[in-house]
Amino acid sequence: MTTTPASIAQPGRNAPIGIFDSGVGGLSIWREVSSLLPSESIIYFADSANCPYGQREQTEVQAFSERIVRFLLEKKCKLIVVACNTATAMAIDHLRRNYPVSFVGIEPGVKPAALESRTGVIGILATAGTLKGRIFNETKARFASHVKIQMTEGTGLVEIVEQGKIGTPEAEILLRRYIEPMLAANIDKLVLGCTHYSFLADDIRKITQGRVALVEPNLAVAQRTKSLLNERELLRDGTPESQRYEFYSSGPIDSLSEMVRRIGAIGTVEMLQV
């Protein structure tokens, strides 16, 4: 019998979920996915050698993303979460066209922020790549044309998180530079449009002092992952104790290890530089 692509065995329900980001930021999505789906095994890939993605050309981000997707498919992942707003903006259409696996992406929560704003002004902090992207601009035109949007590129914030400088005066100075003009413009919602920024939420709240609500789609991404797996009958049937967590980095493993420790991944954890 000849083997056609259709007859090649697809990953089954006990295969791992793949999650990737340019660096450690996507661990904020890992945290939600693992807490909503505690029985699932997860392989996380941080592209630390190429981080940050935010200012890069689309072709470059597509090439990096493709390389990671191939790696995750070799590891037999049954679904891939693109835990990076920038890679979603620049590469998810390309990935969906070229790889026969389900992808879940992440985009800034402009829609809920715009619908719930009372002041009629919302702030968005994201990378240049995300703010230029088709997905963000279509969502903005469709759901946020009735509000004023203060868009700011968070240049340097990804590096702050990668270098473990969360909670430092350096982080505060940079965040103040971006957020104070938004507060002056009377925003009541601040959309965190980059998965790294979730790790700066406490630093941000110190500046906003309860005046604005932070909007992050992290839980929605985990819920979408669960419902897709459920639809495709791919939810794992093992116990939480038998799952495995693997973390890979294309660069030095230090900041990934430190962040994994910080988010408290428990169980069988493996770390590797590839």
Part in contact with ligand DGL (CB under 6 A); list of ranges 33-41, 64-72, 191-199, 211-219: 191-199
Smallest gap, in angstroms, from Cβ of residue 7 to ligand DGL?
Answer: 37
Helix (H) or strand (E) holding 170: helix 169-184
Among 15, 19, 20, 22, binds ligand DGL (CB under 6 A): 22
Distance CA(208)–CA(182), nearest Å, equals 10
Residue closer to ligand DGL by CB (options 21, 40) is 21
Residue 77: active-site member:
no
Q: Note if 194 is an active site residue.
A: yes
Please name every residue paired with 82 in a beta bridge, in sequence order, or none if there are none.
20
Single out the segment in contact with ligand DGL by CB under 6 A; choices: 2-10, 18-26, 140-148, 262-270.
Answer: 18-26
**Residues sharing a CB contact under 8 Å with residue 60, sequence separation 6 or more, in sequence order:** none
CB of 15 to ligand DGL, least distance (A): 25
Q: Does 52 bind ligand DGL (CB under 6 A)?
A: yes
Beta strands in the chain (DSSP E): 17-21, 42-46, 79-82, 102-104, 121-126, 148-153, 189-193, 213-215, 244-249, 268-273
* Among 152, 138, 156, 150, CA closest to 187: 150
Strand order in the sheet with 148-153: 148-153, 121-126, 189-193, 213-215
Nearer to ligand DGL, 54 or 109 (CB): 54
236/247 with CB nearer ligand DGL? 247
Options 20-28, 74-82, 97-105, 113-121: segment touching ligand DGL (CB under 6 A): 20-28
Q: Which residues, 56 to 115, sit near ligand DGL by CB under 6 A?
A: 84-86
Considering 194, 214, 259, 265, which one is annotated as catalytic? 194
For 194, half-sphere exposure in the C-beta direction (CA atoms, 13 angstrom radius) is: 34
Angle at 203 between CA 198 and CA 207, to 5 degrees: 120
Q: Does 127 bind ligand DGL (CB under 6 A)?
A: yes
One of 37, 179, 194, 214 touching ligand DGL (CB under 6 A):
194
Task: Give dist(CA 162, CA 46) in Å, integer.
Answer: 11
The pairing of beta strand 213-215 with beta strand 189-193: parallel
249 near ligand DGL, judged by CB under 6 A: no
List the catalytic residues.
Answer: 84, 194
- Contact residues: ligand DGL, CB under 6 A: 21-22, 25, 51-54, 84-86, 127, 130, 158, 194-196
